[in-house]
Amino acid sequence: MKSLPLVVGLLLCASLYQLSHAQETPEPSLEDYAYLTRMHVPEPVIRCVAAFDRWVAMTPKYDTFIVPDRRVLHATIDNDTTIFSAGNPVPVDQVIAMRAFAKVRGKSQWTRVDSSCGVRDGRVVGVSLTPNVRPRIVR
């Protein structure tokens, strides 16, 4: 029974530690993407790239995401679309689409992906990566 206060104290410390580290991570500043601003990339596209970097860091499928500079410069911004995804309808002001590359976790090969994100009121509200596989030519 002498160890009961010790166990209760350890449980209390562990729960306080989890509560202190369970805070929501702040949205990263766009200072990390200042090079895109110098390339005259529109701010919604920069926000989209930053959202993909955060999303890929937390997803179990991919471990790395790269958008080449020329793809960022040629990203399409669709202002006419009001819904981001048919499967999970989210109202948006803009949909930004660009081709990118992602590396599946645990594999060494890069996959071409079509990336899109939905922006509402200047904030990214949804992201989507779809593998873009070249069709095989059968002769």
Question: Where are the domains positioned within the chain?
Answer: 27-131
Task: Name the amino acid, one letter, at 122.
Answer: G
Residue 42's nearest CA partner among 98, 81, 90 is 98
Q: How far apart are CA 118 and CA 92, in angstroms?
A: 6
* pTM of the predicted protein model: 0.71
pLDDT, tens digit, for every residue of 84-132?
887 778 899 999 999 999 998 888 888 899 999 999 998 999 998 888 8
H-helix or E-strand containing 20? helix 4-21
Q: What is the DSSP letter of 30?
A: G
pLDDT, tens digit, for every residue of 57-97?
888 888 888 999 899 999 999 999 888 887 778 899 999 99
Q: How far apart are CA 87 and CA 10, in angstroms?
A: 45
pLDDT, tens digit, for every residue of 39-54?
999 999 999 999 998 8
Count of residues for the chain? 139
